[in-house]
């Protein structure tokens, strides 16, 4: 297919049950839209339940290409996103979770905030009235505590780094993949730290969001891992912006999509 306007990167681990519905929803939303051509990139992070095969069997409409990439072993969500970003070809790159917490229609909300030098990210903190179904209390408290730490140490002013729905200029996404070191769940923080220090503005966009059961995040094991990764980010030297990493205007066709 010709170079896509949009690449949608979906990291997936043991997602046979939810992933086909997510891909079908994107196909229905994109069919016949000005977003096309689009590529859907599923990165199966070492699943053993047939996730890759289930994804490859999902029919997609004309103008939407589907590629499934596989890790031989489970390496972490950050590693899966890095693989997807590196393989992407789109002028814009959307990272989205497989659990359907954020509806596909929120892509338009993020795209509307895609100004020169801006990185729009979905945020539950920007308008909590839009949360349709809340997390269990302990998860919510742990998430808020983590975000307080991130704001204090690395990203002042950003209320939600972990919502799994973010839109990047394609060149920036591929530059982030080249510089990324974190393979676990704190990769979002690393991406936003790098983008900010390279001169990009991170813009939080309120979105509809519903907690999905069967989360892949272990509250205690992964929280400790994320804490360790955030501390390492605080002391690590950030590399200068590589080619493609510096702020740039959005693609000229974006107004057509938003009309």
DSSP letters of 154-198?
Answer: T-TT-S-S--SEEEEEHHHHHHHHHH----STTHHHHHHHHHHHT
Residues 6 or more apart whose CB falls under 8 angstroms from that of 41 comprise 7, 8, 9, 10, 67, 69, 84, 87, 88
Q: Judge whether residue 240 has pLDDT over 70.
A: yes
**pTM score of the predicted model:** 0.94
Q: Judge whether residue 216 has pLDDT over 70.
A: no
Average pLDDT of span 223-251: 88
Tell me the pLDDT band of 159, cut-offs 50, 70 and 90.
Answer: very high
CA 35 to chain centre: 18
Q: How far apart are CA 216 and CA 225, in angstroms?
A: 14
Structural domains in the chain, sorted by start: 6-236 (3.90.550.10)
Give me the pLDDT at residue 220, please.
Answer: 62
Number of Cβ within 10 Å of residue 90's Cβ equals 24
Tell me the pLDDT band of 142, cut-offs 50, 70 and 90.
Answer: confident
Tell which residue, 162, 160, 149, has the closest CA to residue 231: 149
pLDDT in tens, 164-176: 999 999 999 999 9
Give me the pLDDT at residue 140, please.
Answer: 85
Average pLDDT of span 239-252: 91
Pairwise pLDDT comparison (77 vs 226), residue with the higher score: 77
Q: How far apart are CA 21 and CA 149, in angstroms?
A: 35
Is residue 124 a contact partner of residue 137, using CB atoms and an 8 Å limit? no
pLDDT in tens, 51-83: 999 999 999 999 999 999 999 999 999 999 999
Give the DSSP H/E element, type plus range, for residue 40. strand 38-45
pLDDT in tens, 6-59: 999 999 999 999 999 999 999 999 999 999 999 999 999 999 999 999 999 999
Is residue 205 a contact partner of residue 108, using CB atoms and an 8 Å limit? no
Tokens representing 94? 């959307």
Q: Judge whether residue 250 has pLDDT over 70.
A: yes
Residues 6 or more apart whose CB falls under 8 angstroms from that of 148 comprise none
In 3-state terms the chain splits into helix, strand, coil percentages (rounded to 5) of 35, 20, 45
Tokens representing 156? 């002042």
Residue appearing with tokens 């859907």: 40
Give the DSSP H/E element, type plus range, for residue 67. strand 64-71
Tell me the pLDDT band of 217, cut-offs 50, 70 and 90.
Answer: low
Q: How far apart are CA 177 and CA 105, in angstroms?
A: 26
């Amino acid at each position: 297919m010709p170079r896509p306007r949009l690449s949608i990167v979906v990291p997936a681990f043991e997602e046979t049950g939810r992933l086909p519905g997510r891909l079908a929803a994107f196909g229905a939303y994109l069919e016949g839209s000005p977003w096309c051509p689009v590529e859907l990139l599923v990165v199966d992070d070492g699943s053993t339940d047939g996730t890759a095969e289930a994804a490859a069997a999902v029919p997609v409409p004309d103008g939407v290409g589907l590629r499934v990439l596989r890790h031989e072993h489970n390496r972490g969500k950050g590693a899966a996103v890095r693989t997807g970003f590196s393989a992407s070809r789109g002028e814009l790159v959307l990272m989205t979770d497989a659990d359907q917490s954020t509806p596909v229609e929120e892509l338009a909300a993020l795209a509307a905030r895609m100004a020169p030098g801006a990185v729009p990210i979905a945020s539950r903190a920007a308008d909590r009235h839009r949360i349709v179904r809340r997390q269990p209390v302990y998860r919510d408290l742990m998430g808020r505590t983590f975000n307080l730490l991130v704001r204090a140490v690395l990203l002042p002013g950003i209320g939600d780094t972990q919502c799994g729905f973010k839109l990047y200029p394609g060149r920036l996404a591929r530059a982030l993949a080249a510089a990324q070191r974190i393979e676990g769940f704190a990769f979002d923080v690393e991406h936003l730290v790098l983008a900010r220090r390279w001169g990009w503005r991170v813009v939080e966009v309120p979105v509809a969001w519903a907690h999905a059961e069967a989360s892949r995040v272990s509250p205690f094991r992964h929280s400790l891992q994320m804490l360790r990764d955030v501390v390492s980010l605080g002391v690590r030297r950030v590399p200068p912006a590589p080619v493609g990493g510096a702020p740039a205007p959005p693609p000229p066709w974006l107004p057509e999509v938003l009309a």
